[in-house]
Amino acid sequence: MNNGLNTLTIRESLEGLRNKEFSSVELTRACLDQIKKYNSDINAFLTINERAINEARRADEARENGSDSPLLGIPIALKDMFLTKGLRTTAASHVLENYIPQYDSTVVQKLKDAGAIILGKTNHDAWAHGSSGENSDFGPTKNPWNKEYVPGGSSSGSAASVAADMTIASTGTDTGGSIRLPASFTNTVGLKPTYGLVSRYGIIAMASSLDSIGHFTKTVEDSAIFLNVTAGNDPMDATTTKNKIPNHLEDLDKGVKGFKIGVPKEYFTQGLDSNIKKNIEGAIKKFEELGAEIIEISLPHTEYGIACYYIIQPSEVSSNLARYDGIRYGNDRTRFGDEAVRRIILGTFTLSSGYYEAYYKKAMQARTLIRQDFEEAFKKVDAIISPVSPTPPWELGEKVDDPLKMYLSDVYTVIANLAGIPGLAVPSGFIGDLPTGFQILGPQFSEKLLFRIGHAFEQTQERKVLEK
């Protein structure tokens, strides 16, 4: 019988475990019961960790022996792009459907060292190629709030599992919005960290210069707790920062009075759904009431973002997927799905002789201009508020046959990946029965600031919990 423990946040779970109100075994079992009850409908999980209860028992024993690791006894889910020693990792593709890794990714190892319990691996668009969760070779993930609609992608199962209280938190990857979009579509908090803040080692690469490793939580505070564990330098990933990592929970309750928050005029033009616009205008007004100063800014090269992204990203995808030859591990290339083949062809074309200068080189030059736009903007404002998606969640199947329409759903999110800056997606209400949210963007390594701003807004909202 479900005891409701699976609905708790990380903070609430830790407090309950420390006060011996319940055990990690009870907490983990509540999550596993929820998965068993609802996963056949939602399709959030691809693989369940059969050792989860045993891991929870060890966590309870460790706590009895005086341990108080940051995530001790907390059940979490992992996007199936994260290598897990001895636990199947598929990238949601038939190419790797039977692949068992020999080692853990750095993030997984950090989570285990912090005492987290791995519940299993979540569904997503195969190889993380998609904005809806429909490109998985193992069937689409459905939005827990309305199963006729998409939960957003690519990290669809990770978002849906948190929204449906199958897990306390989950990991994701964000190459062009793959955490922020599903967070916005499922009423969860999603963090895309600064590029290089969290190690990419042991995570199946999509586009290496754009991939950011983040997570989904139920609150902004939980997101800060999670990042305190995963952030930091890794000798196995030369792109990770050597900066000292702050305590992201510090200053969380200090509010936004006196902050300058920018609103890019280019983000509120034709193409933005009127209900999304109205919702974000309400959030902006709330920030003004909280004492922030709202300043209109310009990011003039925004219009080139989506074209720039869909040259650079497929180019890097085609290079990264070349290793899957079916010889060393996995199945052969005939098992690639349509979207993977599409991106391999696009990327190979733009990198080919005679086209590199015309496409890839120009896209990289445009990327520099986009990054400079943000550098100039952050001289005037502390952070930027923008939409996550131009539309609310769409119906399953609505965009499957129109790849270009699907790609345009990333128009507001790819910019942060091109610039390498952090983005925090925060829920801001509902349009009908479907969730929506906005994103807060900041300078590189400003996650602590984003949490403070997001938390201030979150305190003005009543958290809506999914009724099942």
- Render pLDDT for 315-374 as a digit per residue (tens, 0 to 9): 999 999 999 999 988 999 999 999 999 999 999 999 988 888 889 999 999 999 999 999
Query: Where residue 62 sits, what CATH number does that domain have?
Result: 3.90.1300.10
Q: What is the pLDDT of residue 248?
A: 98
Which of the four pLDDT bands, split at 50, 70 and 90, describes residue 1? very low
The predicted-structure confidence for 367-387, as pLDDT tens digits, reads as follows 999 999 999 999 999 999 999
C-alpha span between 410 and 200 (Å, rounded): 22
Cα separations in angstroms, 151 against 123, 124, 166, 171, 215: 11, 10, 15, 15, 15
pTM to 2 decimals?
Answer: 0.97
Residues 32-44 have a mean pLDDT of 98
Sign of CA dihedral 375, 377, 381, 385: negative
Residues annotated as catalytic (active site), given as ranges: 79, 154, 178
Q: What is the pLDDT of residue 2?
A: 59
Task: Report CA 162 to chain centroid distance, whole Å.
Answer: 12
Whether 36 maps to a domain, the answer reads yes
Cβ–Cβ < 8 Å for 199, 107: yes
Which of the four pLDDT bands, split at 50, 70 and 90, describes residue 405? confident
Number of domains within the chain = 1
First CA to last CA across the chain, in angstroms? 15
The predicted-structure confidence for 50-107, as pLDDT tens digits, reads as follows 999 999 999 999 999 999 999 999 999 999 999 999 999 999 999 999 999 999 999 9
Whether 467 maps to a domain, the answer reads no
**Res. 468: pLDDT tops 70:** no
Whether 464 maps to a domain, the answer reads no
Whether 96 maps to a domain, the answer reads yes
C-alpha span between 416 and 405 (Å, rounded): 20
Whether 75 maps to a domain, the answer reads yes
Give percent above pLDDT 90 in the chain. 93
The range of the structural domain enclosing residue 189 comes to: 5-458
Whether 404 maps to a domain, the answer reads yes
Whether 466 maps to a domain, the answer reads no
Of 3 and 15, more confident:
15
Whether 244 maps to a domain, the answer reads yes
